[in-house]
Amino acid sequence: MDLLAAQPELVEGSDGVRIATTVIGDGPPLLLLHGYPEMRAMWREVAPALAERFTVVATDLRGYGESDVPRGEVYSKRAMAADQLEVMTRLGFDSFFVAGHDRGARVGHRMALDAPDRVRSLGVIDIVPTLHMFDHVDRAMATSYFHWFFLGLGAGLPEDLIRAAPERWLRSRFEGRWSVRDPLPPEVFDRYLACFLRDGVIEATCADYRAAASTDLEHDRSDASAGRALSVPVLALWGADGYVGRNFDVLGVWRAFAPDVEGHAIQADHYLPEEAPEATAKALGHFFERCAATGMVDAR
């Protein structure tokens, strides 16, 4: 199935929010979560390879892609994770694997903390935990990740500025962040732009970043104070040429948040599933196959 062309099923998530969902393949269930400013089609070259061994569920986060766009400050990672948990329930999966890139990895992190009985192992792509990022802001972080602070501003300022030149803004999120492959094909960028221009999406995605700097941090600090860590196996992948790979001991950071962590760099910048799809699919497949061999989840 072509994730770029596929019409999604709208599956009800938390609080009635409908989540755009595409299901392909057969085997143990594996949920794939995208990043900013994308949608489930970012997995278009990874999902088919994984679908040979897994039932792949690719979704759009609330406020992104073709999912519903609820109004207001309802974009905490806990709320976004609740959507995905409900989708998997409605699809008949009591337990499953999760892999996320960028924002999707942060949602997956929260899912695994809140529902370790359901998320049986986790793949995170090109991130370190949000709490660690905010606790280690320096010039390099503020320069490379300036959008964290820009999008998190209130009073509608980022929304107004982005709406003045949405295509230019969207291109800026991709340009200069590819190291071994050309940027997005025109038809892929056009799909991302069409979804980004849907009513309310710009506001929703800004609310996502506001939540990261407020509500999400409160949840993360509460977990840290209580000594809560991830109890599931974690695979961390990152781009060798990207900001995360250049500036963090990725495995060392994650091991402060989870006792069972493995992973490695992939020759790419930030958008690993699109820039290095074969290597990304191979790494995810090997990790989740080993997890499945332990009987962590049941096939559909």
Mean pLDDT of 4-10: 85
Catalytic residue among 60, 68, 83, 102: 102
Mean pLDDT of 6-13: 90
Mean pLDDT of 18-47: 97
* pLDDT-derived band at 58, boundaries 50, 70, 90: very high
Inform me whether the pLDDT recorded for 281 exceeds 70.
Answer: yes
Inform me whether the pLDDT recorded for 296 exceeds 70.
Answer: no
Is the omega angle on the peptide bond into residue 37 within 30 degrees of 0, that is, cis?
yes
Percent of the chain with pLDDT over 70: 98
Inform me whether the pLDDT recorded for 187 exceeds 60.
Answer: yes
Percent of the chain with pLDDT over 90: 89
* pLDDT-derived band at 295, boundaries 50, 70, 90: confident
Inform me whether the pLDDT recorded for 192 exceeds 90.
Answer: yes
End-to-end CA distance of the chain: 19
Inform me whether the pLDDT recorded for 297 exceeds 70.
Answer: no
- 102 labelled catalytic: yes
Architecture of domain 9-293: 3-Layer(aba) Sandwich (3.40)
Residue 298's pLDDT is what? 56
Would you kindly state where each structural domain of the chain is located, as residue ranges? 9-293
Query: pLDDT tens, 117-164?
Result: 999 999 999 999 999 999 999 998 999 899 999 999 988 999 999 999
* pLDDT-derived band at 183, boundaries 50, 70, 90: confident
Catalytic residue among 34, 101, 219, 270: 270
